[in-house]
Amino acid sequence: MFQTNPMSRRSFVALTAVGALAAGLAGCAPRTTPTDKADETISCDVLVIGSGASGTTAAAEAALSGADTVLLEKHGGSGLAASSSLAIGTLYGAGTKLQEAAGIEDTPDGLLEYFMTRGGDKLDPDMQQFCAEHFGETIDWLSEELGVPFKEKVSKKGSDTVPRGHNIDDRDEVALEIMNKRAQEAGVRFVFNTAAESLIVGPDGKIEGVMAARPSGKRVQIDAKRTIIATGGFCRNVEMINEYCPDYQGVYTEVGEGCTGEGLQMGLDIGAAYIGHGGTNGILACPVEAGQSKLIDKKAMWIDSSGKRFVNEDGQTHDIYYTVSHFPDQIFYAVYDQAMVDALDEHLANCFEMGLERGYFSQGDTVAAAAEDLGLDGAAVEAQLTAYNAMAAAGSDSEFNKKQENLVALTEGPFYVLSMGVCTHGSFGGYHVNTDFQVLDEQGEIIENLYAVGEVSCGTFIYDDYPAGGCGLNYAYTSGRWAGKNAAQAVLA
Ligand SMILES: Cc1cc2nc3c(=O)[nH]c(=O)nc-3n(C[C@H](O)[C@H](O)[C@H](O)COP(=O)(O)OP(=O)(O)OC[C@H]3O[C@@H](n4cnc5c(N)ncnc54)[C@H](O)[C@@H]3O)c2cc1C
């Protein structure tokens, strides 16, 4: 029999908030100014800052287009602190060879229509069209030309009715490694352990490179004809999340360690426009296992802190993430019975036990007792479970239309209540760019010689609502690919 420790809802939030706070403070690097004296100077045609999917792709394409290219990374190796290295590896796109092979009829026009229904209508239509047109092409390019292995199955994502989720076999790390090799072979010069701190602005207002710093304190000046910022999102910067995405204050994050926001701040400091509508990308989170824990089981009954079911448990994760994120306590609960616990594999059983020991999960002879142990209204949870079990017996979820295969009566005591939360996987705000990925200022004018790609500019494409799993990564590869070529062509013209 498991031992339980009562834990309040507040302590889950406090725990996650403390984690985010610590991570954010760690990312608040001091800023230099362009007038700082440099200990070392590096010169290049194209400077790319950040070695995630967008930056590595931009650097490879710039170098392959003939530009002398430097890739700057503040951490000790390529992609080490990037969200791209953690990504599951879904890329969203339409009209691909993989769809064709799977017998799925689809076109970029269909994708554009979908983007428009998912918030794209509130944003620049040119960027929606650009992404709809090029996302499928990027997937074909990765799979056919670069040899990135994809699974045959294309899956449905978001609220879309057409399968457009292309899944790298096994994770994005595989694609990133291939891209990294491509950049090395193209002659990109990698400069690690060097953090960009401020943009160098010439007397004519054009960007001339960056000032950067090494951990030793040494100042490095990088003179570049074009600069591409690919520094990822800002989920690990508490101040920026509070300012730009206030609905997600205190939400625990699983993004790369490097996503601390200073790559965005240095552009805002020189007059770049910010675009964003407060949204984030995220998943449901289990307090005892990072990632998409299988303890967040669709066969359980999910309730909010009033004890009521609030969602179809087998609905789209992103939609449920948004719902839970907007709960005042950002918590939901999964109700298990003993039969569900008995079916856990060894790994999940260990996680489950840890959850009980740490007080995130509770146990009771009745579901009411288990619920009360976590501070919930036992009678309300009991009534909800009775109604749920009646629907399971009837084979139909008249409340939320859960699939019958996941609608299983929970009748075998003891009962368990598991507290669950949410977790960010990215931020949807940043540089406002045009479809050449040039950075715009507050007046909508181009800031000469400056580009921004990947998550640091994805607010131009994604409104506050994530259109579908796979859009973040594809935006990173697509924007990197185009910006790398554009910047090189501009230098070599
Ligand atoms: C766990 C997880 C799973 C995900 N799964 C998916 C998925 O399956 N599909 C999908 O579409 N999206 C997914 N995402 C989101 C997606 O991974 C990101 O949107 C995307 O990888 C961002 O790529 P990027 O190149 O813009 O930034 P990143 O990959 O985060 O790279 C940014 C790089 O810039 C460096 N950097 C930052 N500041 C500086 C500086 N000042 N100087 C020098 N270097 C700097 C960082 O150290 C880092 O290496 C996931 C995210 C997470 C966290």
State what percent of residues in the chain have pLDDT above 70: 93
In a domain, 470, yes or no: yes
CATH code: domain of residue 178: 3.50.50.60
Residue to mutate, 47, 73, 84, ligand 1, most ligand atoms under 8 Å from C-beta: 84
Closest ligand 1 atom number to CA of residue 472: 11
Residues 434 and 483 in one domain: yes
**pLDDT tens-digit series, residues 369-389:** 999 999 999 999 999 999 999
| CA of 63 relative to ligand 1 center, distance in Å | 21
Residues 202 and 293 in one domain: no
Q: Is the pLDDT of residue 444 over 70?
A: yes
Residues 236 and 318 in one domain: no
Q: Count the domains in the chain.
A: 2
What residue's CA is closest to ligand 1, atom 21? Answer: 84
Mark which of 397, 424, 451 sits at the end of a domain.
424
In a domain, 151, yes or no: yes
Closest ligand 1 atom number to CA of residue 454: 26
What residue's CA is closest to ligand 1, atom 50? Answer: 87
**pLDDT tens-digit series, residues 273-293:** 999 999 999 999 999 998 889
Residues 329 and 443 in one domain: no
Residues 338 and 432 in one domain: no
DSSP string for 292-335:
S-TTS-TTSEEE-TTS-B-S-TTS-HHHHHHHHHTSTT--EEEE
Average pLDDT of 113-135?
A: 96
Closest ligand 1 atom number to CA of residue 474: 11
Q: Is the pLDDT of residue 19 over 80?
A: no
Residues 194 and 313 in one domain: no
Q: Say what the pLDDT of residue 2 is.
A: 26
What contacts 370, CB < 8 A, 6 or more positions away?
335, 362, 363, 364, 414, 415, 416, 417
Residues 389 and 477 in one domain: no
Q: Say what the pLDDT of residue 137 is.
A: 98
Residues 152 and 60 in one domain: yes
The model carries a pTM of: 0.90
| CA of 57 relative to ligand 1 center, distance in Å | 13
Residues 115 and 262 in one domain: yes
CATH code: domain of residue 371: 3.90.700.10
Q: Say what the pLDDT of residue 67 is.
A: 98
Q: Is the pLDDT of residue 98 over 70?
A: yes
Residues 178 and 212 in one domain: yes
What residue's CA is closest to ligand 1, atom 47? Answer: 258
Residues 76 and 168 in one domain: yes
Which domain, by its residues, includes 335?
9-20+282-424
Collapsing DSSP states into helix, strand and coil, what is residue 63? helix
Q: Say what the pLDDT of residue 35 is.
A: 54
Closest CA to 67 of 228, 175, 198: 228
Where is pLDDT greater, at 26 or 465? 465
DSSP letter for 438, please. Answer: E
Mark which of 398, 424, 450 sits at the end of a domain.
424
Residues 225 and 349 in one domain: no
In a domain, 32, yes or no: no
Q: Say what the pLDDT of residue 333 is.
A: 98
In a domain, 393, yes or no: yes
